[in-house]
A and B are shown apart, each in its own frame.
Chain A
Amino acid sequence: MKNGSFTSLLAGCMGVALSAALFAVPALAADKTVKIGNVEPLSGPSASVGVQGKQAREMAVEEINAAGGIKSLGGAKLELVYADSKSDPTVGVTETERLINTEKVNLMTGCWNSAVTYPATQVAERYGIPFVVPVAVRDTITERGFKNVFRIAAKDSWWVRDQFRFLKDMQEETGVKLKKIAFLFENGDWGTGFAEKWRELAKKDGYEIVLDEPYPSTATDLTPVVTKLKSANPDIVMLVSNAADAILLTNTMAEMQLKPKVVLASGGGHADPTFLDNTDTNALGIFDEVEWNTDVNKPQAKPANEKFKKKYGYDLTGESVDAYVAMYVIADALERAASTDPAKIREALATTNLTTGPGMVVSYDGVQFDETGQNKNAGIVIVQVANVNGKPERVTVWPKAARRAGYTPVFPANK
């Protein structure tokens, strides 16, 4: 096993060296380039998101280079250098080392998996190379006092924070007061982690917790849980579910004629493409939290999504949007740094305040890093399943600035 991965690493290195040799001459002949190292899961269990991120980066870099590159550097072009992490932290670390030492990249981005990003950013910090993390949600990635780590996407704890912000905003908007809240979550790491933060925030916001229930996501029958939910009689039901149980819960709730005023899910199973196919009209009214949705009301979002879809055959995803934005943040920082010196790039990144430009396809107002390197504007989108042209569809409703034009959220969803 060890031998095998060593051989493949060696083969990978040779491949990179060979392609570097092939492209070395034209690269030298052209204008100055800025090398961006990308560690991404391009094979292994998370390969599909890795590829999404890669394609979004390539589209952004193409656009930036076509628009004249980095003007303050004499029109320097951006060049992406990839390394495959295979979702393995050890590989992520060695590849980051290699990109910095051998490839001499000017800055780094990646790595999607929190488990890879955490140690990889540590390597970059040691070498003083700026590291832009488009997405990897573990809170602690930007909470270690590092100077060179900047994250675009919202962190883990903000997902829950935004769920409660949404509830508060909607109650203010509609004048409906809701009090009783129920938590229902799969009993894995993900569900129990969310529930822990829910309890805290629900207490802070003055909700009455009427049910706090983990369930096994492999259950054959969720009627017992729904029965329990029914006798708890909550106004709001908050869910963390995988795909199978999300489907089963939604259908069982319809069957048991349980209609809470608000059902608020946390992505995952409820965002799975098979969810709407299998629940159809039973899902109407459900709110779900996602990183991004294709209909966010931002002028750049629609053309960017159309272009991406034409190029790669599918819609932009949360992951790819973060990667796309990251490239524009980097270009903006390089423009202001007017240098390829990592220290100067770092200074420019720290003072980023990007609110316009083609990269602003996100639901929130802009990118601006706090002292820990976290984008303080980063936020999440809440969608509602609504009947659009006779078919259930996910419609962005929150934040209000990103809400689909002409749509009024149904809140409460059931009276």
Chain B
Amino acid sequence: MTAVIQATLNGAMMGAMYGLTALGLTLIFGVMKVVNFAHGSLLMVGMFSAYWLIRLTGIHPYLALVIVPPVLFVFGYYLQDVVIKPVFKAEGQVREPLTVIIVTTGVWYVLDNLALMLFGAEYRTVRTAISNKSFALGQYIISIPKFSGFVVAILTAVGLAIFMRKTKTGKALRATSLDREAANLMGIDQYRVYNIAFGLGTAIAGIAGCVLIPFYYVYPSVGVVFDIRAFIIVVLGGLGSIPGALLGGLVIGLIESVFSQFMASTWTEAIIYAIFLIILFVKPSGFFGHKQDW
């Protein structure tokens, strides 16, 4: 029983972080209707940014949370503006511009290989004040970096939800996600909204990078590992849904952690994919997704 409760705690913490990695993906999809294949690479960029910042300046890993996400916002903003927008413009009449998927795949390869060229293929971790530290909750052990990651993930999701509901920019993002032609007619600059959405998605990948780096290692293709999970989570939770991403992440994290206590951990991977397929059959729109009318 002890092990199961311990596994539940771990699963919830790790799951919230999986949810965090999926949040940017679901946001970009929700607004732009683009499956961003470069999302894992943006996470990698976030992790490397946090890694070098902490490594070179020696600042506390959570101070990086204030620096890395804004930088990545700017990076994502201009990445969309310079690389993706022209393709959108060329395919302006298409609802789901397929070419954009190919472009994001291109961005993925370019970023991964750039990282490979600059930093090499080896695994890097950075030893920080909180690395491998934990505290005891009764007889259960809670890892400090993972617990902090859990808190940051929840705060990010709540913050994003509030932003989407309460601010003018958030409302513009939502309007565009509902109907971009209508939003255009209402005077919303579609491409500026896309820039902001992509920037936000990238900034969230930066947040994820900052909370992962105190306990996880970074290498150029680290994104692929998280990407696959993020895609499953987004489908599970409902495409474009913020609470869905968080819940989907929790489900995956809990399955991975709790089921492992009763069977070989190699099996949990298979179970996750099986659940993914079942959801696709039974409720393709996921937990919180609404039927898309586009």
Which residues on A are within 8 Å of B, measured CB to CB? Answer: 187, 213-216, 218-221, 223-225, 227-228, 230-231, 243-244, 247-248, 251, 254-257, 274, 277-278, 280, 282
Contact = CB atoms under 8 A, between A and B. Distances in A.
Contacts of A282: 132
Interface in B239-294: 253, 256-258, 260-261, 264-266, 268-269
Contacts of B117: none
Contact of B125 (A187, A213, A214, A251): A251
18 contacts: A187-B266, A216-B269, A221-B253, A221-B257, A223-B146, A224-B7, A224-B257, A224-B260, A225-B260, A227-B10, A228-B3, A228-B260, A247-B217, A251-B131, A251-B215, A255-B141, A256-B143, A278-B125
B11 interface: yes
A223 B132 contact: no
A54 B3 CA distance: 52
Interface of B: 2-3, 6-7, 10-11, 14, 18, 122-125, 127, 131-134, 141, 143, 146, 215-217, 219, 225-226, 229, 253, 256-258, 260-261, 264-266, 268-269
Nearest to A213: B264
B11 A243 contact: no
Given A187-B266, A213-B264, A256-B141, A218 B225 contact: yes
A210 to B, nearest CB: 13
Nearest to B226: A220
A146 B266 CA distance: 40
B217 A278 contact: yes
Contacts of B124: 274, 277-278
A255 B132 contact: yes
A224 B127 contact: no
A211 B142 CA distance: 23
B137 to A, nearest CB: 13
A274 B2 CA distance: 34
Nearest to B136: A257
A247 B133 contact: no
A71 B222 CA distance: 58
B10 A244 contact: no
B68 to A, nearest CB: 20
B229 A223 contact: no
Contacts of B132: 251, 254-255, 282
Given A255-B132, A255-B134, A231 B3 contact: yes
